[in-house]
Chains A and B, each alone.
Chain A
Amino acid sequence: MNSVTKNTQLICYHCGQDCPDDSIHLEDKYFCCNGCKTVFEILNQNQLCNYYNFGSNPGISPSTVIDKKYDYLDERDVIEKLVDFKDDKFTSLTFYIPQMHCSSCIWLLENLYKLNSAVVQSKVNFVRKELSVRFLHEKLSLKELVKLLASIGYEPQISLDSVEQKKEQHPNRHLYYKVGIAGFCFGNIMLFSFPEYFSIDITETFLKKFFSYLNLILALPVFFYSASDYFISAFKGLRKKVVNIDVPISLGILVLFIRSAYEILFNVGAGYFDSMAGLVFFLLIGKILQEKTYDALNFERDYKAYFPLSVTIKQNEVEKSIPVSKLMIGNRILIRKNEIIPADSILINGDGIIDYSFVTGESHPVSKVSGEMIYAGGRQLGGAIELEVIKEVSQSYLTRLWNNDTFNNIGESYFTRFSNTVSKYFTIIVLLLAIASGAYWLTVDLKTAVHVFTSVLIVACPCALALSTPFTLGNAMRILGRNKFYLKNSSVIEEMAKINEIVFDKTGTITESGKADIIFNGKVLTPFEQKLVKSLVRNSTHPLSKKIYDSISGEEIFPVTNFQEITGKGISGIVYGNLLKLGSSSFAGVENNEDETLQTKIYLSINEQVVGKFIVSNSYRDGIEDVIKNLSKHYHLSLLSGDNEGEKSTLEKFFGEKSNLNFRQSPEDKLIYIKEQQSKGKKVLMLGDGLNDAGALSKSDVGIAVTDDISNFSPACDAILHGSELKKLPKFLEYAKDGVKIIYASFVISFLYNLIGLSFAVEAKLSPILAAILMPVSSISVVVFATVMTNIFGKKRGLTWK
């Protein structure tokens, strides 16, 4: 026991992980692996050890770099697709490096020029986890640059996706321009309206005209540029016969502009340009808030982002790296340890140990022998294997799912949003009111009638109404983000509030991926026997062997002779004079009388005598039982698992009797299940993690991807939830309901303001100064209300943060 505690005290100087022993060290600094030591040496040689001063143990343990892995980066068309800009001297490009996590990373990556003088400039965007590099391409090739990054632990993620579609670089830049210009014009127009506000008697008509015309000129860019989005959106909505919230807003702005321009040009009044500019300015600020997204996360990923960019093919005994898109039927491909199989193929050579957990939901790796079919998307865990491609990448079992219709109709939810439903009735009522009051005043005179008609439309402009939703949802989204629940956009909250059915995936969602509990069932093993087993499994690279190895404590290892590993069967060897066999029932010599497939069992025999079996079961996430019990009180729950029924009884205990538990579900089955529930009128929330859930996630009303590392691949979804925060799911759902209630309340407040304004308007008493006070006051009070209430409810639901 003593040795164990001593070991945990040894922390790798580079990456901060526990060192297995003290064998790897440099002077007084210890490292967990040779990779970390190498990185330290590189940095030390180049006087870059400052790296270790900005954060404690900031490093990343580098993965072993295989020489031929990056050969595809020498291909001309791959380079062309990756590069942002290239002239005869320099090349600039942007890498996505999800590993960067602290200020030391920024410092090191921005000092790349010290490691290689051919790098001219390197700049980090930490939020997006991107590194832009400019380098002399005559001195340094792209391949060498990527190798350099990989050697210090920052291997860029280059996938099929990043090559095929370049990300839109500056989507919201125009919004900033619009806000800037609206703000500038708003401030100046208010300044020039001061004589009007204070009823200062300007005797000189020249000055009066001067101020008015300045206001008119300043109002032009606000009307034609800053407000243009609202007109376009309203027009688009009307063409689709939908009255969205932008319709009454556009109507208000339009009437404000025409009436003010008329008053100034015909010298009858001062106009309402200050109100108009202020209105547009506040609305645009709300829009910026609403358009906040998590830049580093990508919610639209499909299989292309998961697949590698290149694959090694074997042609006439020569190994060559080619882009996956050029892979053809009949190609012989070479897959090394931890690589992903890009296309459906047949195993030709080697022992396949394929981890399908991400693709099919099977929790344990599958052993394959030559001649067997291997589906695309699996990850090889054993040594190198050789495969023959039998289907093109786009035609394989997994990628076919993306040809489903579900992936082609995104974005319809926009029109179901609550504010749009309200705005429809709102617009009709306001129009009727304007016409009615105008008609009433028509009996007095035409001028007053027009005045009243326009005043009603101006004052009823639902500025506060339009601001309440973005501020409430934007702030709620921020609070959820601090709790590691990242939403694609704020309208997901409205959808979440309507949910009445929750569907769970099993592997990786309610179980922890990569973790498993191992129980030994049978005769109790003596410490000596445990050591024998530990020594035997140490020789095997099979993932299950590793799990057994980790489950047995102790350090002592005996030498093993006659070690044999038979793929798909088991391992055997002689340890300390005892013959040990570990593997399937037939291998260990057990009469098979149980349903073998239900649970993963590994039988152990010592000297041809069966002593028992190791049972591997999934390890459930912390507190998942409480979460499920809690949720089952308010929602109908279902489970869709790609795995077998092995843990049905445990899961039944969690889910209770009312829930549906379905096993051995294919990706299509899951999609169909969601469709069925929706056709029964249910609003479905789906939690999943793998590619096999992708169809169901995008079909469901709210699809949440659960992941333990948010910068890793996650399938297309509406929200990404960090695995450790799954226990907060009931709170998140409650909070979404609170958010919608807050919006209702803000609507009531803004209606009250509208009533006050309207009462002035219908009596023909609306003056520019009254409008200039009423509009900002109503907007600001609604904004403050929404922000404060979302924070209060956040605290009440226990969604606090440091």
Chain B
Amino acid sequence: MTVLVLLDHEGSTIKQPSRSAVAAAALLGDVHVLVAGTNPEAAAAAAALPGVACVITAADAAYDHALAEPLAALLVSLAPGYTHLLAGSTAIGKNVMPRVAALLDVQPISDIAAVVDADTFVRPIYAGNALATVRSSDTKKVITVRAASFDPVAATGGSAAIEAANPIEIPTLSSFVSAELSKSERPELTAARVVISGGRGMQNGDNFKLLDPIADKLGAAVGASRAAVDAGFVPNDYQVGQTGKIVAPDLYVAIGISGAIQHLAGMKDSKVIVAINKDEEAPIFQVADYGLVADLFTALPELAAELEKA
């Protein structure tokens, strides 16, 4: 069996969720990866991923913004050579892979958390409140991979061959206009070793600044609950939860977050969970390894000072 993995890339970086998808692919068979867009640095980075046998490139500017219509057409043109088509459950993977599946008359399998065998996969349903094991009767499988469930392969160590895909007729139904990406010196939420998130308890967007010295000290990414996003404190790309990002860092610090089901679904696979909340009945304490019942406006400056001491 040979598996094709669509990679998310930026500059010379292959995004961590894609490296998790490569790890999942390696459980199924030989791994080829696709780097679409005019990014030779990314092709070289892909060739260095351990366990990758072949890098397919499609160096056409039409793929540069990962629009679903051209990218799906490209994947469909490559599909005959593969038993499984995979991508990370990123904004790109979620946008493109179901389109690929429909074009191949396949029912996609979204957000897998485990590989049982070549046809059988485990995936969370109901915001992670249940795990379904599903078996596909399609001859080809189209899959997105829950990054938090598979340790990513390393970024270097491999040396794969690089081949160019045959050009296809590119659909022109859509065009890229602009991107407004949050600028941050901090690590990405899904890749960070430590995540510190604020909830409705933060009271306003300005107070999120109280998280900064702690995040700086710990090298953490800053996240938020859906309640904090809905209240307009921070942009939506901060959101950790079933409808936002799924994270599984070594340390997750939840500040002023009550612990709604949908938030827990996004972070409960973290290795160590810390919760600081003034309501001792908050459900977040049921999943926290270390809980502190305290007013966050007192606890946060104390925490920053305590970390500074160390």
Is B one of A's binding partners?
Answer: no
Q: Which residues of B contact A (CB under 8 A)?
A: none
Q: Which residues of A contact B (CB under 8 A)?
A: none
